[in-house]
Amino acid sequence: MATATHYLEVNAPAAECYRWWRPLTHLPQILDDVESVEPKDGSADVTHWVVDGPLGKKIEWDAKIIDEEQDRKIAWTSLEESNNHVETGGAVRFDDHGPKTGVEVSLHVETPAGALGDLGAKLFADPQKKIEKALQEFKQLMESNTTR
């Protein structure tokens, strides 16, 4: 299982940071491998993920928000019934420091053995570097006022 966690300060209020993250649909803007995250069946809590893999392969799964506190945290996990063969999930926490927000993102991925596992392992290689880059891009988005 691969896990990654990163924390940084963003010069934006926690409520604004939370609003950007909450639908999860903005994640392709900061996660290079994520092609799309879309609501599934009109649900605000269930999303369908499409991720670009090696050799033009795509990996897809459904995920559900499993824990949430407005303006404080969001956690999600892949749904077993989406038959994705990849167990993944994550959480983002927002620490309100007035005009600034501490943002911590944690991701975990467990891939199966065999060829699909090899594909997943390549896709999720170096998750720490990917999450650090994604949070830096999130910080730039929020601080540039392009999302406000």
Percentages helix, strand, coil for the chain, rounded to the nearest 5? 30, 40, 30
132-143 pLDDT per residue, tens: 999 999 999 999
80-106 pLDDT per residue, tens: 876 666 788 999 999 999 999 999 999
DSSP 8-state symbol, 29: G
In a 3-state reduction of DSSP, which class is residue 145?
coil
DSSP 8-state symbol, 25: T
pLDDT for residue 56 = 76
Reference 30, options 119, 138, 122; nearest CA is 138
pLDDT for residue 60 = 87
pTM of the model: 0.85
**Calpha distance 5→11 (Å, rounded):** 20
Q: Which residue has the higher pLDDT, 11 or 82?
A: 11
Confidence of residue 115 (pLDDT cuts 50, 70, 90): very low
31-62 pLDDT per residue, tens: 988 999 999 988 889 999 998 876 777 888 89
66-78 pLDDT per residue, tens: 999 999 999 999 9
H, E, C per residue of 75-121: EEEECHHHCCCCEEEEEEEEEEECCEEEEEEEEEEECCCHHHHHHHH
**Calpha distance 85→124 (Å, rounded):** 14
